[in-house]
Amino acid sequence: MSSTSAPHKEKDGHVHLGVAQLSHAAPWNWARWPIVACGVGALGLFAASFFQPWWRFWLYAPQYPKGLGLVISLTGMGGDVHEIDLLNHYIGMGHLASAAPLERQIAGYGVAAICVVTLTALMLAGKKLNKLVAIPAISFPVVFLGDSFYWLYRFGHSLDPHAPLHIAAFTPQMFGNGQIGQFETFAQPELGFWLATAGVVLALVGTFMRSRVCAHCGNAGECSAVCPRLMVLPERHHEASK
Protein backbone atom coordinates (compact mmCIF):
# COMPACT_ATOMS: atom_id res chain seq x y z
CA MET A 1 0.00 0.00 0.00
CA SER A 2 1.08 3.60 -0.51
CA SER A 3 0.03 6.89 1.07
CA THR A 4 0.55 10.45 -0.22
CA SER A 5 0.65 13.56 1.95
CA ALA A 6 -1.90 16.27 1.08
CA PRO A 7 -0.85 18.88 -1.54
CA HIS A 8 0.06 22.29 -0.21
CA LYS A 9 0.72 25.73 -1.70
CA GLU A 10 4.14 27.27 -1.22
CA LYS A 11 4.92 31.00 -1.02
CA ASP A 12 6.02 30.98 -4.66
CA GLY A 13 2.43 30.28 -5.69
CA HIS A 14 3.06 26.75 -6.91
CA VAL A 15 1.19 23.75 -5.58
CA HIS A 16 3.50 20.93 -4.47
CA LEU A 17 2.43 17.34 -4.08
CA GLY A 18 3.67 15.45 -1.06
CA VAL A 19 6.12 12.59 -1.54
CA ALA A 20 4.46 9.20 -1.76
CA GLN A 21 5.39 6.99 1.18
CA LEU A 22 5.33 3.26 0.59
CA SER A 23 4.64 0.76 3.36
CA HIS A 24 5.79 -2.73 2.52
CA ALA A 25 4.70 -5.91 4.22
CA ALA A 26 7.41 -8.19 5.55
CA PRO A 27 8.95 -9.98 2.53
CA TRP A 28 8.24 -13.48 3.91
CA ASN A 29 4.77 -12.71 5.28
CA TRP A 30 3.21 -14.69 2.41
CA ALA A 31 4.76 -17.89 3.79
CA ARG A 32 2.68 -18.01 6.97
CA TRP A 33 -0.18 -20.04 5.54
CA PRO A 34 2.14 -22.32 3.51
CA ILE A 35 3.88 -23.09 6.80
CA VAL A 36 0.56 -24.24 8.24
CA ALA A 37 -0.04 -26.25 5.06
CA CYS A 38 3.33 -27.97 5.52
CA GLY A 39 2.36 -28.90 9.07
CA VAL A 40 -1.02 -30.27 8.02
CA GLY A 41 0.59 -32.15 5.12
CA ALA A 42 3.21 -33.69 7.43
CA LEU A 43 0.45 -34.71 9.83
CA GLY A 44 -1.47 -36.41 7.02
CA LEU A 45 1.60 -38.28 5.79
CA PHE A 46 2.52 -39.46 9.27
CA ALA A 47 -1.03 -40.67 9.88
CA ALA A 48 -1.11 -42.47 6.52
CA SER A 49 2.22 -44.19 7.26
CA PHE A 50 0.66 -45.83 10.32
CA PHE A 51 -1.58 -47.94 8.09
CA GLN A 52 1.14 -49.01 5.64
CA PRO A 53 4.02 -51.53 5.84
CA TRP A 54 7.36 -49.97 6.76
CA TRP A 55 9.88 -52.66 5.88
CA ARG A 56 10.05 -55.90 3.90
CA PHE A 57 12.44 -58.86 4.11
CA TRP A 58 12.86 -61.77 1.70
CA LEU A 59 14.63 -65.04 2.46
CA TYR A 60 15.80 -67.36 -0.32
CA ALA A 61 17.12 -70.93 -0.14
CA PRO A 62 17.12 -73.98 -2.48
CA GLN A 63 14.08 -75.43 -0.72
CA TYR A 64 12.26 -72.07 -1.06
CA PRO A 65 12.93 -71.00 -4.65
CA LYS A 66 10.13 -68.42 -4.54
CA GLY A 67 11.41 -67.08 -1.26
CA LEU A 68 9.71 -66.25 2.02
CA GLY A 69 8.49 -62.75 2.74
CA LEU A 70 8.26 -60.82 6.02
CA VAL A 71 6.49 -57.47 6.25
CA ILE A 72 7.04 -55.16 9.22
CA SER A 73 4.44 -52.55 10.16
CA LEU A 74 4.19 -50.30 13.19
CA THR A 75 1.62 -52.62 14.75
CA GLY A 76 3.07 -56.04 13.91
CA MET A 77 4.36 -58.38 11.24
CA GLY A 78 2.82 -60.07 8.22
CA GLY A 79 3.75 -62.37 5.38
CA ASP A 80 5.18 -65.84 5.87
CA VAL A 81 5.51 -65.45 9.64
CA HIS A 82 4.58 -69.03 10.52
CA GLU A 83 7.06 -70.58 8.08
CA ILE A 84 9.86 -68.26 9.18
CA ASP A 85 9.16 -69.05 12.84
CA LEU A 86 9.50 -72.76 12.08
CA LEU A 87 12.90 -72.15 10.49
CA ASN A 88 13.96 -69.89 13.35
CA HIS A 89 13.16 -72.69 15.81
CA TYR A 90 15.93 -74.86 14.34
CA ILE A 91 18.58 -72.21 14.96
CA GLY A 92 17.23 -71.22 18.37
CA MET A 93 15.74 -67.84 17.47
CA GLY A 94 12.66 -66.55 19.30
CA HIS A 95 9.20 -66.20 17.79
CA LEU A 96 8.70 -63.07 15.70
CA ALA A 97 5.50 -62.25 17.61
CA SER A 98 7.60 -61.60 20.71
CA ALA A 99 9.48 -58.71 19.05
CA ALA A 100 8.79 -55.13 20.18
CA PRO A 101 5.62 -55.80 22.22
CA LEU A 102 5.60 -52.39 23.93
CA GLU A 103 6.36 -50.52 20.72
CA ARG A 104 3.49 -52.21 18.90
CA GLN A 105 1.12 -51.46 21.75
CA ILE A 106 1.85 -47.72 21.91
CA ALA A 107 2.53 -47.12 18.20
CA GLY A 108 -0.83 -45.44 17.56
CA TYR A 109 -0.43 -43.06 20.50
CA GLY A 110 3.13 -42.29 19.46
CA VAL A 111 2.15 -41.39 15.89
CA ALA A 112 -0.71 -39.22 17.15
CA ALA A 113 1.64 -37.42 19.55
CA ILE A 114 4.20 -36.75 16.81
CA CYS A 115 1.47 -35.37 14.54
CA VAL A 116 0.16 -33.01 17.22
CA VAL A 117 3.60 -31.85 18.37
CA THR A 118 4.84 -31.24 14.81
CA LEU A 119 1.83 -29.13 13.82
CA THR A 120 1.80 -27.29 17.15
CA ALA A 121 5.51 -26.49 16.91
CA LEU A 122 5.16 -25.12 13.38
CA MET A 123 2.26 -22.93 14.51
CA LEU A 124 3.22 -21.80 17.98
CA ALA A 125 6.98 -22.00 18.48
CA GLY A 126 8.69 -18.66 18.94
CA LYS A 127 11.77 -17.35 17.21
CA LYS A 128 14.11 -18.79 19.84
CA LEU A 129 12.83 -22.33 19.22
CA ASN A 130 12.97 -22.31 15.42
CA LYS A 131 15.90 -24.71 15.21
CA LEU A 132 14.06 -27.29 17.32
CA VAL A 133 10.74 -27.31 15.46
CA ALA A 134 11.51 -30.23 13.12
CA ILE A 135 13.06 -32.50 15.78
CA PRO A 136 9.81 -34.37 16.65
CA ALA A 137 9.18 -35.10 12.96
CA ILE A 138 12.77 -36.24 12.33
CA SER A 139 12.63 -38.52 15.36
CA PHE A 140 9.74 -40.54 13.88
CA PRO A 141 11.60 -42.57 11.21
CA VAL A 142 14.88 -42.37 13.12
CA VAL A 143 13.39 -44.03 16.21
CA PHE A 144 11.81 -46.72 14.02
CA LEU A 145 15.16 -47.51 12.39
CA GLY A 146 16.98 -47.58 15.72
CA ASP A 147 14.37 -49.76 17.41
CA SER A 148 14.21 -52.16 14.45
CA PHE A 149 17.98 -52.54 14.42
CA TYR A 150 17.95 -53.23 18.18
CA TRP A 151 15.42 -56.07 17.79
CA LEU A 152 17.21 -57.57 14.79
CA TYR A 153 20.47 -57.54 16.75
CA ARG A 154 18.82 -58.95 19.86
CA PHE A 155 17.16 -61.84 18.00
CA GLY A 156 20.32 -62.72 16.10
CA HIS A 157 22.49 -62.61 19.24
CA SER A 158 20.14 -64.44 21.65
CA LEU A 159 20.13 -67.86 20.03
CA ASP A 160 19.23 -70.90 22.13
CA PRO A 161 22.46 -72.92 22.63
CA HIS A 162 20.37 -76.12 22.76
CA ALA A 163 18.84 -75.58 19.30
CA PRO A 164 19.17 -78.41 16.73
CA LEU A 165 21.37 -76.26 14.49
CA HIS A 166 24.20 -74.01 15.60
CA ILE A 167 25.19 -70.90 13.65
CA ALA A 168 27.25 -67.87 14.59
CA ALA A 169 25.46 -64.85 16.05
CA PHE A 170 24.31 -62.41 13.37
CA THR A 171 22.36 -59.21 12.70
CA PRO A 172 20.03 -59.36 9.67
CA GLN A 173 20.70 -56.70 7.06
CA MET A 174 18.17 -53.88 7.01
CA PHE A 175 19.24 -52.66 3.57
CA GLY A 176 20.02 -54.79 0.54
CA ASN A 177 21.49 -58.28 0.46
CA GLY A 178 22.62 -60.39 3.39
CA GLN A 179 23.26 -63.96 4.50
CA ILE A 180 21.81 -65.98 7.39
CA GLY A 181 23.07 -69.54 7.41
CA GLN A 182 22.07 -71.11 4.10
CA PHE A 183 19.54 -68.34 3.42
CA GLU A 184 20.20 -65.31 1.30
CA THR A 185 18.25 -62.27 2.40
CA PHE A 186 17.15 -58.99 0.92
CA ALA A 187 15.58 -56.06 2.76
CA GLN A 188 14.22 -52.67 1.76
CA PRO A 189 11.96 -49.87 3.05
CA GLU A 190 8.28 -49.94 2.16
CA LEU A 191 5.59 -47.30 1.62
CA GLY A 192 5.06 -46.45 5.29
CA PHE A 193 8.70 -45.46 5.74
CA TRP A 194 8.68 -43.31 2.60
CA LEU A 195 5.45 -41.59 3.64
CA ALA A 196 7.01 -40.73 7.01
CA THR A 197 10.16 -39.49 5.27
CA ALA A 198 8.05 -37.25 3.02
CA GLY A 199 6.38 -35.90 6.16
CA VAL A 200 9.81 -35.06 7.59
CA VAL A 201 10.70 -33.20 4.37
CA LEU A 202 7.52 -31.11 4.66
CA ALA A 203 8.32 -30.33 8.30
CA LEU A 204 11.84 -29.24 7.31
CA VAL A 205 10.48 -27.01 4.52
CA GLY A 206 8.03 -25.46 6.98
CA THR A 207 10.82 -24.94 9.51
CA PHE A 208 13.01 -23.18 6.94
CA MET A 209 10.17 -20.90 5.84
CA ARG A 210 9.23 -19.98 9.40
CA SER A 211 12.86 -19.06 10.14
CA ARG A 212 12.64 -16.55 7.27
CA VAL A 213 9.25 -15.31 8.46
CA CYS A 214 10.51 -14.82 11.99
CA ALA A 215 13.64 -13.01 10.81
CA HIS A 216 11.51 -10.37 9.05
CA CYS A 217 8.53 -10.27 11.41
CA GLY A 218 7.53 -6.94 12.89
CA ASN A 219 6.99 -8.65 16.25
CA ALA A 220 10.44 -10.27 16.29
CA GLY A 221 11.59 -8.06 19.13
CA GLU A 222 8.96 -9.38 21.54
CA CYS A 223 9.10 -13.00 20.37
CA SER A 224 10.47 -15.61 22.76
CA ALA A 225 9.32 -19.21 23.26
CA VAL A 226 5.83 -18.69 21.82
CA CYS A 227 4.98 -16.83 18.62
CA PRO A 228 2.88 -13.76 19.60
CA ARG A 229 1.05 -14.01 16.24
CA LEU A 230 0.57 -17.79 16.48
CA MET A 231 2.00 -17.72 12.94
CA VAL A 232 -1.19 -16.57 11.16
CA LEU A 233 -2.82 -13.94 13.38
CA PRO A 234 -2.60 -10.24 12.38
CA GLU A 235 0.57 -8.41 13.30
CA ARG A 236 0.48 -6.46 16.53
CA HIS A 237 0.97 -2.77 15.80
CA HIS A 238 2.41 -0.65 18.56
CA GLU A 239 1.49 3.01 18.96
CA ALA A 240 4.26 5.19 17.60
CA SER A 241 6.08 7.26 20.13
CA LYS A 242 5.35 10.98 19.92
pLDDT per residue over 18-74, tens digit each? 444 434 557 888 989 999 999 999 999 999 999 999 999 999 998 898 899 999 999
pLDDT per residue over 136-183, tens digit each? 999 999 999 999 999 999 999 999 999 999 999 999 999 999 999 889
Helix (H) and strand (E) counts for the chain?
5, 9
Residues 6+ apart with CB under 8 A from 241: none
Confidence at residue 148, expressed as pLDDT on a 0 to 100 scale: 96
Higher per-residue pLDDT: 242 or 173:
173
Q: How far apart are CA 178 and CA 62, in angstroms?
A: 16
Length of the chain: 242
Confidence at residue 236, expressed as pLDDT on a 0 to 100 scale: 66
Proportion of the chain above pLDDT 70, given as a percent: 87
Residues 6+ apart with CB under 8 A from 233: none
Confidence at residue 189, expressed as pLDDT on a 0 to 100 scale: 98
**pLDDT-based confidence at residue 2 (cuts at 50, 70, 90):** very low
Residue ranges of domains in the chain? 46-222
101-115, 208-222, 224-238: which has the highest mean pLDDT? Answer: 101-115
DSSP 157-183: T---TTSSS--------SSEEEEETTE
Looking from the CA of 104 toward its CB, the CA atoms found within 13 Å total: 14
Mean of pLDDT over the chain: 87
Q: Is the pTM of the predicted complex or chain greater than 0.85?
A: no
Confidence at residue 10, expressed as pLDDT on a 0 to 100 scale: 55
Average pLDDT rounded to a whole number, residues 208-213:
92
Query: What sign does the dihedral 117-123-128-130 (CA atoms) show?
Result: positive
pLDDT greater than 80 at residue 8:
no
The conformation of residue 63, written as its DSSP 8-state character, comes to T
